[in-house]
């Protein structure tokens, strides 16, 4: 099915959870949500084959998908939660320190418009401990942007998302989980997948600063997100309500057993 099923190594994580070879995950019989969004779970412009299943992260997303004409949406939970469940017992969490900060990012089709230097100044003035800046591959490859963040702190990149099943960093989520477990806080200038991941991985979340915008973005959606999820916005939100919201958005309570997930995704028993 769609190559987006392999973005960030999602198919590989789910294959490993199901007891299959994570280096050669079977074909997923449908469309797998690859990032948090406030529509039907599919990426913008994803060519959809009518009648194909859509595997979404949460019940809220399933209801939105139904309202948008995708009745075959099934809630599976986010792949990150399966990784978190699998890695929980063996994880050796040390003392957490500082903040991992995820600046809002662009992608191949849209660049971010905003003042990175001004954002960095606000971050440095707000955070009390060391800051790790995690840049998306799109900004990490920009020497000017990367250098600006390197002058203010440690800079990392979890890897390349992948495209058409090429150059996918199958360890993307593993790297992200390892970094989140090193830090006390997770923050960004926009509510995003990374903030939800950090909240469920034990970080205190925060969303503040110039939100920046994508080229041609519908800004009304960004404003709606700030209104609809106030629990995660601000420099120091209450971590417990924020974590509860993050768990719901990622589908906690809907995770399947390995046998169930194999059946749902059309994989061999």
Q: What is the token pair recorded at 241?
A: 């309500």
Helices 172-180 + 193-200 axis angle, to 10: 60
pLDDT score at 268 = 85
Q: What is the token pair recorded at 224?
A: 């709606």
| Segment 156-212, tens digit of pLDDT | 999 987 766 677 888 999 999 999 999 999 999 999 999 999 999 999 999 999 999
pLDDT score at 138 = 86
pLDDT score at 267 = 94
Is the pLDDT score of 25 beyond 70?
yes
Which tops the pLDDT comparison, 261 or 91? 261
d(CA 1, CA 91): 33
The mean predicted confidence, pLDDT, of the chain is 91
Is the pLDDT score of 92 beyond 60?
no
88-109 mean pLDDT? 77
Q: Are strands 112-113 and 213-214 parallel, antiparallel or unpaired?
A: antiparallel
For the chain, percent of residues with pLDDT exceeding 70: 94
Three-state secondary-structure class, residue 186: strand
Alpha helices in 88-238 (DSSP H): 116-126, 137-140, 143-150, 172-180, 193-200, 219-228
Is the pLDDT score of 89 beyond 50?
no
| Segment 29-86, tens digit of pLDDT | 999 999 999 999 987 777 788 888 999 999 999 999 999 888 999 999 999 999 999 8
pLDDT score at 43 = 74
Residue 122 phi, psi (nearest 5)? -70, -40
17-25 mean pLDDT? 95
Label residue 112 by pLDDT band (50, 70, 90): confident
Q: What is the token pair recorded at 75?
A: 């809630």
Q: Alpha carbon 31 to chain centroid distance? A: 17
Candidate from 117-131, 135-149, 159-173 with smallest mean pLDDT: 159-173
């Amino acid at each position: 099915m769609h190559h987006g099923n392999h973005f960030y190594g999602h198919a590989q994580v789910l294959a490993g959870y199901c007891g299959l070879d994570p280096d050669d995950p079977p074909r997923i019989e449908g469309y797998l949500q690859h990032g948090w969004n406030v529509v039907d779970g599919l990426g913008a412009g994803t060519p959809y084959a009518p009648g194909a299943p859509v595997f979404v992260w949460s019940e809220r997303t399933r209801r939105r998908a139904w309202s948008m004409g995708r009745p075959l949406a099934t809630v599976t939970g986010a792949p990150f939660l399966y990784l978190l469940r699998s890695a929980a017992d063996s994880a050796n969490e040390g003392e957490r320190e500082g903040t991992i900060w995820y600046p809002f990012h662009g992608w191949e089709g849209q660049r971010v418009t905003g003042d990175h230097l001004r954002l960095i100044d606000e971050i440095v003035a707000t955070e009390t401990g060391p800051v790790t800046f995690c840049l998306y591959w799109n900004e990490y490859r920009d020497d000017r942007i990367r250098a600006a963040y390197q002058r203010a702190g440690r800079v990392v990149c979890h890897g390349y998302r992948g495209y058409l099943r090429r150059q996918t960093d199958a360890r993307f989520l593993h790297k992200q989980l390892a970094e989140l477990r090193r830090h006390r806080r997770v923050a960004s200038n926009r509510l995003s997948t990374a903030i939800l991941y950090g909240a469920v991985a034990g970080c205190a979340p925060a969303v503040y600063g110039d939100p920046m915008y994508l080229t041609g973005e519908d800004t009304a959606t960004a404003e709606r997100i700030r209104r609809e999820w106030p629990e995660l916005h601000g420099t120091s939100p209450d971590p417990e309500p924020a974590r509860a919201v993050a768990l719901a958005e990622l589908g906690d309570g809907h995770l399947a057993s390995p046998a169930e997930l194999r059946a749902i995704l059309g994989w061999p028993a």
